[in-house]
Amino acid sequence: MDAELSQRLTRLLDHVDHWLPPAPTPVDWNIHVAAIWQRHPLGGWLVPVPPRDALTLDDLLGIERQKLALIDNTRAFLQGHPANHALLWGSRGSGKSSIIRALLNSLAEEGLRLIQVDRHDLCSLPLLVEQLRHMPQRFVVYCDDLSFEGNDDAYKALKSVVDGALTGPPENVLLYATSNRRHLLPESMDDNSGSRLVGEELHHGDAVEEKISLSDRFGLWLGFHPFSQATYLEVCEHWVSHLGQPQDWNDTTKAEAVRFATLRGGRSGRTAWQFAAHWVGRKRLQEKR
């Protein structure tokens, strides 16, 4: 390469560097317990985030089975034992995302570190996982509200990281995902057209097999379902007391809580929190008048 060409390339690189966003300081995992993965055209980086709130696992009522299963799985992972990737699926507002936040608040001192990856950044997930492979910490990579459309190829990156690549995920990385869909991809009646009965066994067609292949790679499935009215009222009472108005829990409050859920279209942990915030906020305004 002659000197003139070398100088031109150097000037070009300097010009490109001028327009690239500056890389942030690497995350100090001794200080921070959570970060968000941000993708850019030349790769990606981690941006530390403070804890969103002080939510604890004890605050999450009505999902005891799911809590115990996820705690045991995560503790096994943190202690270097075999553990499964987890798919938390079910109805909206039922506690799927909240349990992840509470898990971090409860297990950060035991070594848990959490990295959130947005769905539109999933194509760069293999790059993130490789960056984490040789780090001493143990990470849960968290994908919230995950779902894909029929022509969406982003799920292939996730599928390969979970269980499909030659190298596989590193032993210090676990994937937790939440979704309203158990199989992550939309299903249609036409998908069953390729299914056939062989002897006494049902064999699914290629369309069905493809759509269940991703969720099948998560070894721990936890379903979250709408609350019964009794459980919903128990959660409402917890949050009303938590917000400082335990004396207000009576038959009138219960009736208002039921009416609130009816207007919202369902009973869930999110609805219970929203009712408590509405009720306590209104009561405190009335007390000041």
Residue 151 has a pLDDT of 61
DSSP code per residue over 69-125 = HHHHHHHHHHTT-----EEEEESTTSSHHHHHHHHHHHHGGGTEEEEE--GGGGGGH
Same structural domain for residues 64 and 164?
Answer: yes
pTM of the model: 0.81
What's the domain range around 242?
229-288
Collapsing DSSP to helix, strand or coil, 217 comes out as helix
276 in any annotated domain? yes
Residue 159 has a pLDDT of 73
Question: Please, where are the H alpha helices in the chain?
Answer: 3-19, 64-78, 96-107, 125-132, 154-159, 206-213, 229-242, 251-264, 269-288
Residue 49 has a pLDDT of 92
Number of domains in the chain: 2
Same structural domain for residues 181 and 244?
Answer: no
Same structural domain for residues 247 and 129?
Answer: no
Contacts of 274 (CB under 8 A, 6+ apart): 260, 264
pLDDT tens track, the chain, 289 positions? 567 667 666 766 555 555 556 667 888 999 999 999 998 776 788 999 987 778 999 999 999 999 999 999 999 999 999 999 999 999 888 999 999 999 999 999 999 999 999 988 888 888 899 899 999 999 999 998 887 765 666 677 777 777 656 667 789 999 999 988 777 665 554 554 555 554 555 444 444 455 566 677 889 999 999 999 999 999 999 999 999 877 888 999 999 999 999 999 999 999 999 999 999 999 888 877 6
Q: Which of 200, 224, 248 is the last residue of a domain?
A: 224
220 in any annotated domain? yes
Collapsing DSSP to helix, strand or coil, 47 comes out as strand
For tokens 């045991």, the residue is: 72
Q: Which of 224, 244, 276 is the last residue of a domain?
A: 224
Same structural domain for residues 176 and 264?
Answer: no
Residue 62 has a pLDDT of 94
Collapsing DSSP to helix, strand or coil, 31 comes out as coil
- Report which residue type is found at 150: G
202 in any annotated domain? yes
What is the CATH number for 208? 3.40.50.300
